[in-house]
Amino acid sequence: MKRISWLLLMVIVVIGCASKSLDYELEITDTRTWSAQGITQINAATENGDITVSATQDTIITADITRSCLGDDSTDAAEHIENIEITDNISGGELTLEADMPDDDDERDYRADFDMSARQSIHINLATVNGAIVVEDMIAGANIGVTNGSISTDNLRGSINGAIVNGEIDCDMALLASTESALLAATNGNITLSLPSDVSAQFDAATVNGTVTISGFPSVNYTTNEPNHKAGTIGAGDATINISVVNGDVTIRAR
């Protein structure tokens, strides 16, 4: 009888622990700054978080870093939020900012968002898993990778190399010069590339399941003109556009 009571008590304790409620969300924002002198590239990577980079005239690079997680209460959440490690370093003219998430407790919904501002002339290299990346008014190009989320640019200049697994790419470019390229790829999601109407580029855009649309440009010549694959030149055909999608539509349009 004592053995049965002991086992029953253990079951109650286990059930009580398993049903522990993690309904308190703690969010903490810290700001880090670095001198932009000598910095030619920013590398930023996070998990379960968004990254935004916008242009500034300031000589300081700024990052507002917002960490969050769930807890039983404020004390419990405060203890676990410290498990999100944010590291930064500068080497060879590159600033690297990274978030390292705990991998032992998915129920706490660990998250780290970066909201950054930097000089327009700095190239950016960004990556996130489960989040959105937004780039505004940068002029030195971008390298962007997302696993689940979205990619969005506004008034971008310089080459872009963007890839996403699940989600959409909406890339607005203020300029794509003759030596530059727009290389975009998605597994599941639509890709939209908006360019000045007077852009000069050769293009190759294809999707397995979807359609390709080219619109708004005064001069387009096709070497391939099929519903799901279009290639040719816009204007004189100087810059390079290459877009590939598995499941989704491709749109190349004039701004």
Separation between Cα atoms, residue 210 and residue 125, nearest integer Å: 29
Averaged pLDDT score across all residues of the chain: 93
Mean pLDDT across 148-177: 98
Query: How would you class 248 by CB atoms within 10 Å of its CB: exposed for 0-12, middle for 13-18, buried for 19 or more?
Result: buried
* Residue 17 banded pLDDT, cuts 50, 70, 90: very low
pLDDT digits (tens, 9 = 90+) for 218-242: 999 999 999 999 999 999 999 999 9
Separation between Cα atoms, residue 150 and residue 165, nearest integer Å: 9
Least confident of 13-17, 64-68, 131-135: 13-17
Q: Which residue has the higher pLDDT, 203 or 22?
A: 203
Mean pLDDT across 71-82: 95
Residue ranges per domain, the chain?
141-255
pLDDT digits (tens, 9 = 90+) for 31-42: 999 999 999 999
Separation between Cα atoms, residue 60 and residue 11, nearest integer Å: 57
**What percent of the chain clears pLDDT 90, i.e. is strictly above it?**
89
Cα 46 to its chain centre, rounded Å, is 9
